[in-house]
Amino acid sequence: MSRTANMLYSLLFLGLLLALSLASLPALLSFSAASETPLLNGKLAHAIEKHYDKQFPLKEFGTNAWAALEFTLFGEGRPGVVVGREDWLFTDEEFKPASNPQQLQDNWRMIAAVQEEFKRRDIDLVLALLPAKARLYPEQLAAAKPVATQQALYAQAHALMQTQQLPGPDLLPALQQAKSAAAVFLRTDTHWTPHGAEATAKALAEYLAARGDWSRGEQRFVTRTSDSQPHKGDLLSFLPMAPYFAALQPQAESLQPRHTEAAEAAEAGAETAADLFGDAQPQVALVGTSYSANPKWNFAGALKQALGSDLLNYAEDGHGPLVPMLRLLQRERAETADLRLVIWEFPERYLMLPSDLSGFDSAWLERLRGNEQLALRDPVKSATAP
């Protein structure tokens, strides 16, 4: 290459760099640090660097371009998502082995400890083990498949339930049947649809009635369906192609929200609804994850309608199934004194995931795990033994 060409390329590169730097100046000038940010230890410089890096014009474009390249050429996204057929997305938590080989045993010992605690309180515990999205939609999987331990997990968990004499329905057939009428999981989201939540609620109510654990209550509920709304699935965050390549992302989907309320309250109005039911406390509690906590799916409402009874919802967003349950057990005994039944919504993939229990007193957790005999028992080995 001639010297003139080298100079032209160098000047072009310097010109582009200068243009981008000038374009970034407004963002740099807009920076303001907290008044207490120290200058001498480098924290101020680090804050300026982070702000500038975030506002750099090519950063977002480069991120979008790389994500678009991975998705269109290789059918892949960022770590956290598995891309399936026809723009179906799955969380990679349903595909990977547990990071800790003993994770299933650890989680199951905690489940057994929770069951023992409810027995001491004379409260029935029912485990609503939710089948994984990849298990319900194997036809939408592409090249990536769940590892063998994940494929065997649902059946293994039900074997553990039988060994532990922990009640809970097999929800897989009910959801497989329901998906023939409408989707039971959202295509670009980790969560189920209101239709899937309703099918699960009905299956739970039928299971409890067949066992004699719960007789359908006399309270009536009505469910109203709103107009469809655009829904951005949480798994799309692992395909960061917007705004420059948003057209290449999986097609947007819609969600029809549902809302369930007591029939008497709907007829009487919100002002007098409280007077109709007085101070009676529900005898049923729901504990679980965002599948139960997020009103978009209306699982708590569908469960009320299926059971014919009001319930207390202790589910939480973003903490998995164990943390909300432990928080319920730490509440005042007076709050749980009227409970007869606790339904624990538990997505199967969480059996292979650790939970952050650092917010709980370690001594209390050890007491909850029970006596030495319970601590030494290995329910996983017992359930899988020939």
Task: Report the distance separating Cα 87 and Cα 78, nearest Å.
Answer: 15
**Angle (nearest 5°) at CA 90 between 86 and 93:** 160
Q: How far is 264 from 238, CA to CA, in rounded Å? A: 44
Q: Is 333 exposed, middle or buried (CB count within 10 Å of its CB: 0-12, 13-18, 19+)?
A: exposed
Give me the helices (H) in the chain, please.
3-29, 43-55, 57-74, 103-120, 133-136, 148-151, 153-164, 172-178, 194-211, 263-268, 270-277, 290-293, 299-307, 322-329, 333-336, 362-368, 372-376, 379-384
194: cis peptide before it, omega within 30°? no
| Catalytic positions, written as ranges | 189, 191, 290
The conformational region for residue 330 under phi > 0 = left, psi -120 to 50 = alpha, else beta, is alpha
User: Do the Cβ atoms of 341 and 122 come closer than 8 Å?
Assistant: no
- Rounded to an integer, what distance in angstroms lies between the CA atom of residue 359 and that of residue 356? 8
260-275 burial string, b = 16+ CB within 10 Å, else e? bbbeebbeeeeeeeee
Query: What phi, psi does 212 have (nearest 5°)?
Result: 80, 10
Q: Report pLDDT for 63.
A: 77
Which positions ≥6 away from 32 have C-beta within 8 Å? none
* Nearest residue to 174 (alpha-carbon basis) of 206, 150, 151: 206
Q: What is the pLDDT of residue 215?
A: 83
Q: Report how far residue 52's alpha carbon sits from residue 33's, in angstroms, rounded to the nearest whole number.
A: 13
Assign 370 to helix, strand or coil: coil
Q: What is the CA angle 31-37-40, rounded to 5?
A: 110
Distance CA 382, CA 164 (A): 10
Radius of gyration in angstroms for the set of CA atoms belonging to the chain, rounded to a whole number: 26
Cα separations in angstroms, 173 against 94, 99, 130, 187, 241: 19, 30, 11, 20, 37
Q: Report the predicted TM-score, pTM, of the whole model to 2 decimal places.
A: 0.83
Q: Which residue has the tokens 């819609």?
A: 254
Q: What span, in angstroms and rounded, lies between the C-alpha atoms of 215 and 245?
A: 54
Q: Hey, what long-range contacts does 319-323 have (CB within 8 A, 24 or more apart)?
A: 319/289, 319/355, 319/356, 320/289, 320/350, 320/353, 320/355, 321/287, 321/288, 321/289, 321/345, 321/346, 321/347, 321/350, 322/107, 322/110, 322/350, 322/355, 322/357, 323/355, 323/356, 323/357, 323/359
Report the Cα 69 to chain-centroid distance in Å.
28
Give the residue ranges of the chain where pLDDT is below 70. 1-2, 9, 13, 16-17, 19-59, 62, 265-279, 371-386
Rounded to the nearest angstrom, the gap between the alpha carbon of residue 2 and the centroid of all alpha carbons in its chain is 60
pLDDT at position 94: 98
Question: Using CA atoms, how far apart are residues 91 and 239, in angstroms rounded to an integer?
Answer: 12
Q: What is the pLDDT of residue 175?
A: 98
Q: What is the DSSP string of 324-336?
A: HHHHHHTS-HHHH
- Provide CB contacts within 8 A for 180, sequence distance 6+: none
Q: Is the dihedral of CA 212, 217, 222, 225 positive or negative?
A: negative
Backbone angles phi, psi at 251, to 5 degrees: -60, 145
